[in-house]
Amino acid sequence: MPTRTVLVGSASGLHARPAALFVAEAAKQPVLVTIRSGDKKPVPARSMLAVLSLGAKKGTEVTLEADGDGAQAAVDTLAELLERDLDAVDA
Amino acid sequence: MRELRGIGASPGGAAGPVYRLAPPPALPPLVETVDPEAEKTAVRAAAVAVAADLARRADTALDATAAEVLRAQVMMAQDETLIDAADIAIDGGADAPHAITDVLAGHRAAFEAAGGYLAERVSDLDDLRDRLVAACLGQPMPGVPDPGHPYLLIARDLAPADTAGLEPGLVLGLITAEGGPTSHTAILARTLGIPAVVRCPGILDVTDGALASLDGTNGVVVAGVSAETVTTVNADRLAEIERRARSRGPGRTADGHPVALLANIGSARDLTGEVEGVGLFRTELLYLDRSDPPSHEEQVTAYRDVFAALPGRKIVVRTLDAGADKPLPFLRLAVEPNPALGIRGLRVARQTPSVLTTQLAAISAAAAATDADVWVMAPMVATAAEAAAFTESCREHGLPTAGVMIEVPAAALRASQVLRHADFLSVGTNDLSQYTFAADRMCGDLADLLDPWQPALIALLAVCATAGVEAGKPVGVCGESAADPDFALVLAGLGITSLSMAPRSIPVVRESLAAHTLHECRQIAEAALAAPSPEAARAAAVGASRQLRSGDGVSVR
């Protein structure tokens, strides 16, 4: 099953804006992708509440997993998004 | 009259009758569900209605941050896992309001357990729950009162949905029982220019309609003031706003000592209105979300756009401030366990010197094509040797004015040595606080340590300013603290020569400076420096400035 583990790149963590962008992208994927932080139980990547509840901060290691047609591409797309700093630039 | 104490979160005075936010719907006793399908349908209908209402509020929100948070709430209301979990709760015997409450309570616990930023967001979840429950019960949405005349809004805390549509003309001030200086309420109030006091627990005991006044600078709230006081406080506030709107021209003290008031910008778009110049031009925007660095030509074009907008004016360009803390793919930096203490700012040039040399060449070319007074500075300089190397590199590229940012205590303590090599200093108080207090800038729980009024930070600023005065070279401040009209007096008094801030903050700082002589600023700075705590430093400075100001009518041209 396609799996990728990445570090959250957004300065404020996987919160408001970064989380919204991530969840919106997950909802566009043809397969259900799950995300988990540490050894907690995996949650659906397209659930805003669940993703926020992970409490993932910048540098937190998270694992994405999916199954089925297009799973690899979906996992790669979302992993790439997670690694970027999705917060606006500031001083 | 009763005096209550909170934390000043948005400066200014306001007074009027208080009205509290419409209370959240009371959860009725659990009734035995006769028709689980009807309850499930009710949850879905509530989710649709609440999401639509929040989306409408997001669309009409005046503030971009508020709109963003509202859109996140819309996504929560539409969350399939919320609906699914509510279905399961209903199958377990709950009715729609209880199912929603139970499910969101689980997420609330997770937010609180995560702490920090997320714990401050539990009010978003509570707001969502109240809205969904109200919709299930057929009650009106809880929200901001509308008494039909200006008032002070009081609340336990405010959620983004409550505050997004606030009209500054109608809501004179905000007082909340909870929240902190970094809470949504505080940020929004400052953005809208509404005076606010947060964490004032006693305010919830004040009855609706009672007259009160608040001071958003020192956090004092007085309940039970007279109608005359209300009139006076609001007239003063209005006069202050009008004075500020009329304010023009360069920054200077009452006796004409110049303190340049400059803008912090990220692109030519951020330049609003007339400014003396730019004290911090962040160049990161060009580099974001790219797999290759921007080309020489691309950079020249972007810099030239900004330079051309300010002919003859000073523009301080900060070279790329990125690295482990703000990763950019093309830098290919290793992930570090402690990014704030790693390869960032000027340190990137240790590994990838071409990024800096390309940028300096582009700045130089753009400067040659316009007649702006272009200065260049490096972020995250720690030693005099680093300053020397950077200055030399700037000279090689034909850039005559090269300086460094002071963001690290090591550089602040050796400011006079750094100034032997650099033409000027610019103190970034946000990062300087972070490194001085070993407190991450993003950590809300440590907000008290990041207060610019911390005596240790003021002492480091004094070292830098004194070094500048002795060397006869300019020392500016371009962190958040420069936008605080009271702190600006301290900075001017210490000998800081320019203050750079978001353009909208300039008028209030200009007015504050114009109301005090340089001698008074020095007295205020001394009072702040001598204070044992940030609270005492602020109180000493504000007290001294009010006292000095109350003597005569102040006018600013």
pLDDT in tens, B424-447: 999 999 899 999 999 887 665 677
ipTM attached to this prediction? 0.88
Say whether A89 and B75 touch across the interface (CB within 8 A).
no
What pLDDT is attached to residue B334? 81
What pLDDT is attached to residue B122? 87
- Name the B residues in 453-482 with CB < 8 Å from any A CB: 478-480
Distance of CA B131 to the CA centre of its chain: 29
Is it the case that residue B449 has pLDDT exceeding 70?
Answer: yes
Angstrom distance (rounded) from CA B43 to CA B98: 10
What pLDDT is attached to residue B165? 63
Is it the case that residue B283 has pLDDT exceeding 50?
Answer: yes
What pLDDT is attached to residue B442? 64
Q: What is the mean pLDDT of residues B506-515?
A: 88
Q: What's the pLDDT tens digit per position in B250-275?
A: 999 999 999 999 999 888 888 877 88
Is it the case that residue B556 has pLDDT exceeding 50?
Answer: no
Angstrom distance (rounded) from CA B160 to CA B48: 19
| Residues of chain A neighbouring B280 (CB-CB closer than 8 A) | 91
CA distance A44 to chain B (A): 8
Q: What's the pLDDT tens digit per position in B338-385?
A: 888 999 999 999 999 999 999 999 999 999 999 999 999 999 999 999
Token representation of residue B534: 């940030």
Q: What is the mean pLDDT of residues A13-32?
A: 89
| Residues of chain B neighbouring A58 (CB-CB closer than 8 A) | 339, 442
Q: Which range, of B184-193, B282-291, B458-467, averages the lowest pLDDT?
A: B184-193
Say whether B335 and A11 touch across the interface (CB within 8 A).
no
For residue B33, count other CB atoms closer than 10 A to its CB: 19
Is it the case that residue A35 has pLDDT exceeding 80?
Answer: yes
Considering Cα of B214, then B499, then B438, then A86, what sign does the dihedral take?
Answer: positive
CA distance A39 to chain B (A): 15
| Residues of chain A neighbouring B326 (CB-CB closer than 8 A) | 11, 85, 89
Q: What is the mean pLDDT of residues B301-329?
A: 91
Q: Quick check: B441 contacting A, CB < 8 Å? A: no
For residues B167 and B56, the model is more confident at B56
What pLDDT is attached to residue B545? 74
Nearest to A44 among B81, B288, B326 (CB): B81
Token representation of residue B348: 């990137």
Say whether A47 and B430 touch across the interface (CB within 8 A).
no
Average pLDDT of every residue of chain B = 88
- A-B interface: how many C-beta pairs under 8 angstroms? 87
Q: What is the mean pLDDT of residues B547-557?
A: 47
Strands (E) in B283-422, as ranges, are: 314-318, 373-381, 402-406
Q: What's the pLDDT tens digit per position in B156-211?
A: 888 766 666 677 778 999 999 987 765 657 766 776 778 999 899 999 999 989 99
Q: Where are the alpha helices (DSSP H) in B78-226?
A: 80-91, 96-114, 116-120, 122-137, 160-163, 184-192
Q: What's the pLDDT tens digit per position in A42-76?
A: 999 999 999 998 888 889 999 999 999 999 999 99
Angstrom distance (rounded) from CA B372 to CA B375: 9
Nearest to B72 among A11, A13, A16 (CB): A16
Which residues have C-beta within 8 Å of that of residue B516, sequence separation ≥ 6? B253, B254, B489, B492, B524, B545, B548, B549
Q: What is the mean pLDDT of residues B521-549?
A: 86
- Name the B residues in 295-334 with CB < 8 Å from any A CB: 325-327, 329
Say whether B325 and A11 touch across the interface (CB within 8 A).
yes
| Residues of chain A neighbouring B68 (CB-CB closer than 8 A) | 16-17, 20
Angstrom distance (rounded) from CA B271 to CA B310: 9
Angstrom distance (rounded) from CA B332 to CA B348: 10
In chain A, DSSP finds a helix count (H) and a strand count (E) of 3, 4
Q: What's the pLDDT tens digit per position in B119-170?
A: 878 888 998 999 999 999 988 778 777 676 899 999 988 876 666 667 777 8
What pLDDT is attached to residue B187? 63
Q: What is the mean pLDDT of residues B541-554?
A: 63
Is it the case that residue B276 has pLDDT exceeding 60?
Answer: yes
pLDDT band at A91 (very low <50, low <70, confident <90, very high): very low
What pLDDT is attached to residue B217? 84
Say whether A12 and B117 touch across the interface (CB within 8 A).
yes
Most confident of B82-86, B240-244, B339-343: B82-86
What pLDDT is attached to residue B555? 36
Percent of chain B with pLDDT over 70: 93
| Residues of chain A neighbouring B116 (CB-CB closer than 8 A) | 57
Q: Would you call B90 helix, strand, or coil by DSSP?
A: helix
CA distance B382 to chain A (A): 18
Is it the case that residue B450 has pLDDT exceeding 90?
Answer: no
Q: Which range, of A24-28, A49-53, B215-219, B237-241, averages the lowest pLDDT?
A: B237-241
Say whether A44 and B285 touch across the interface (CB within 8 A).
no
CA distance A9 to chain B (A): 7
The residues of A annotated with a catalytic role in the active site are: 15
Percent of chain A with pLDDT over 70: 96
Residues B139 and B130: beta-carbon distance below 8 Å: no
What pLDDT is attached to residue A29? 94
What pLDDT is attached to residue B494? 98
pLDDT band at B18 (very low <50, low <70, confident <90, very high): very high
Q: What is the mean pLDDT of residues A11-26?
A: 87
Is it the case that residue B523 has pLDDT exceeding 90?
Answer: yes
Q: Quick check: B290 contacting A, CB < 8 Å? A: no
Percent of chain B with pLDDT over 90: 59
Percent of chain A with pLDDT over 90: 60
What pLDDT is attached to residue A90? 40
Q: Quick check: B379 contacting A, CB < 8 Å? A: no
Angstrom distance (rounded) from CA B469 to CA B50: 59
| Residues of chain A neighbouring B82 (CB-CB closer than 8 A) | 47, 49
Nearest to B80 among A15, A47, A85 (CB): A47
Q: Would you call B194 helix, strand, or coil by DSSP?
A: coil
Nearest to A91 among B280, B288, B339 (CB): B280
Is it the case that residue B521 has pLDDT exceeding 60?
Answer: yes
